[in-house]
Structure 1
Amino acid sequence: MHPEKSLKINNTPPVNKPTKKNKITKLFYSPKFAPYLFVFPFIAGFLIFFLYPIISTIIMSFQDVKIASSEYVGIDNYQRLNNQRFFTAITNSAQFTFWTILVLIPIPLMLAVFLNSKLTLFKNLFKSALFIPALTSVVVGGVIFRIIFAEADTGFINSIITSIGFSPQEWRMQGNTAMFLMVALACWRWMGVNILYFLAALQNIPKDLYESAEIDGAGALQKFKNITLPFLKPISIYVLTITIYSGFSMFTESYVFWRTGSPNDIGLTIVGYLFQEGFSYGNLGFGSAVGITLLGIVLIVNIIQLKAFGLFKKED
């Protein structure tokens, strides 16, 4: 018997053993692991850049933070909030928020309705012109506003009001005019953004509803009241929420007008007060207490307005 005949030929292909690379690839495509992989960047960013700073700020608000050390002082930093400058900052921020809400919600809504109309000409031109301020640095805008509202008699606005018989104004030195400057700069900056919010919501309203209303004999005001406004409620609540937040957290609009402090604190805001105490004066513990108090104020105000608009009501 020949030895060659005793050998059997095996035609079955060799089985590839799973490599480490294949295991990792299968893990990435696993229905149990892949969702966590995709949400990990958001979770990591939330923990590092949001949750950790808040927890650190809460801890620092109960400390007297120094350069090389810190010590717990209990609620002393919060007790120090009972001072006139803090109440002035809250009042100014509340007034600023009130006036920006009064301007930056109804006016952008009306302008968005006009831009959404078929009768409006040069829509893209108006959209671009209204949105350009949002792309402009607020510091540059503040410098332009300071030139326009200069206190000198030869200032642009003062020259206009003196030509019609009124006395020139010291715009940055009086309480009412100082608030007008901050509100005007903020409205100039954010008007176009809110218009785009409302315009996007308007374009999502079904056209069939307007056509049916016209068949039933509804006029323009009736269609606006019964169709447009109800469909704009979600975006209106969103715009109101971010306007409240932006109003209480305003800093740049005040800083560009009074870099070294406003007379009698007419331009002092809560964030400006936090900046002065925490960074200019080095009281990081007290500044943290101001920041946590601001967080609580904004949270309470927004919860109240969301509750008032029925956002927390359960649908039937």
Structure 2
Amino acid sequence: MLKRFFYSKKIAPYIFVLPFIITVLLFWAAPISNGILLSFQDILKDQWVGTQNYERLLSDKIFLKAIFNSVKYMLGTLILLIPFPLLFASLLNSKLMKKPGLFKSAYFIPALTSVVVAGTVFRLMFGEAAGSLANQVIGFFGFSPIKWLKNAETSYFILLLVACWRWTGVNILYFLAGLQSIPSELYEAAAIDGASKWQQFTKISIPLVKPTSVYVLTISIYAGLSMFLESYMLFKGNNSPNNIGLTIVGYLYRQGIEKRAMGYACAVGCILLLIIMAVNLIQLKLTGAFGKEEK
């Protein structure tokens, strides 16, 4: 009887997906549900406060600045970490590139480096002392030393530099996998018809690699809005000058871990979840990957 139950064509599919369902319920649905409930409470006073935490967020200037910093960082990473990796992947996929495996390894190595180590190295490189690497470079051209991590514009540049150094190789591999799935006959036919390499790239590669582009865009939006450790290590803590490096997750950490205002921190987390879901649903709708079948 038990053997017939497990070998049933109707029951077997559910048995196979059961581990995934249990994992989602235990490590995703349950924590989110618990976080939503906690966001309506004051944990320190052990009382239900209703929407007070959310009302406080709307008038919290530091939280609004954290949102601005996270959105600004996300937009910068989208501009840099989608078109350039796609272009580099096309070069690696071309027949003109010799030893592409060497370049793939070189691009991907930074992704294997710990964020803690990378953040520490970049903090030392862009230190405010005249002997730091960045100040030595600009000093060679006659410029005075800069306090890189105490200025909003320069610190934003460094955060984007860390992101590009770390994730360009990963996105290149994503796009390279998408490009290699395109039949080579399409490029050969286009070349016979007189299409240039640029026309082949814009008319064949970009349209057919769209599913990969949508995926990279989706994970980049999430990664940009949830960035924390890079900023934490770069500024040697969660207290950057005038909060120029404070992100939404950093503000959540400050309220929940440093100040132990867990209910308020949960409200921050719920707002972050809503923002990420809203932005991704909008971009999926605009790219035609959600709610619309392509012809």
The bucket for the TM-score relative to the shorter chain is over 0.9
1:279 is aligned to 257
Distance 1:315 1:108 in 2: 25
Letter in 2 for 1:70: D
2:153 is aligned to 176
Cα deviations by residue, 1:21-59 (Å, 9 ceiling, x for unpaired): xx3333222212211111110000000000001100110
Letter in 2 for 1:55: S
2:82 is aligned to 105
1:301 is aligned to 279
For normalisation by structure 2, the TM-score amounts to 0.96
Distance 1:100 1:199 in 2: 19
Candidates 185, 203, 206, aligned match of 2:180: 203
Distance 2:293 2:175 in 1: 25
**2:170 maps to 1:190:** no
Higher CA-based Rg: 1
Distance 2:29 2:252 in 1: 20
1:80 is aligned to 56
**Percent of aligned pairs with the same residue?**
51
Task: State the shift of 1:310 in Å.
Answer: 2.0
Superposition RMSD in Å: 1.1
Query: Aligned with 1:256: secondary structure?
Result: helix
Query: Aligned with 2:42: secondary structure?
Result: strand
**2:127 maps to 1:127:** no
Runs (5+) with no aligned partner, structure 2: none
Distance 1:76 1:271 in 2: 20
**Superposed counterparts of 1:211-226, under 5 Å:** 211-226=188-203
1:71 is aligned to 47
Runs (5+) with no aligned partner, structure 1: 1-22
Between 253-262 and 195-204, report the one with greater CA deviation: 253-262
Query: Aligned with 1:118: secondary structure?
Result: coil
Distance 1:96 1:315 in 2: 31
Letter in 1 for 2:227: M
2:126 is aligned to 149
**2:21 maps to 1:38:** no
**2:225 maps to 1:248:** yes
**2:292 maps to 1:313:** yes
Runs of 4 or more off by more than 3 Å in structure 1? none
Distance 2:85 2:136 in 1: 30
1:52 is aligned to 30
Query: Aligned with 1:120: secondary structure?
Result: coil
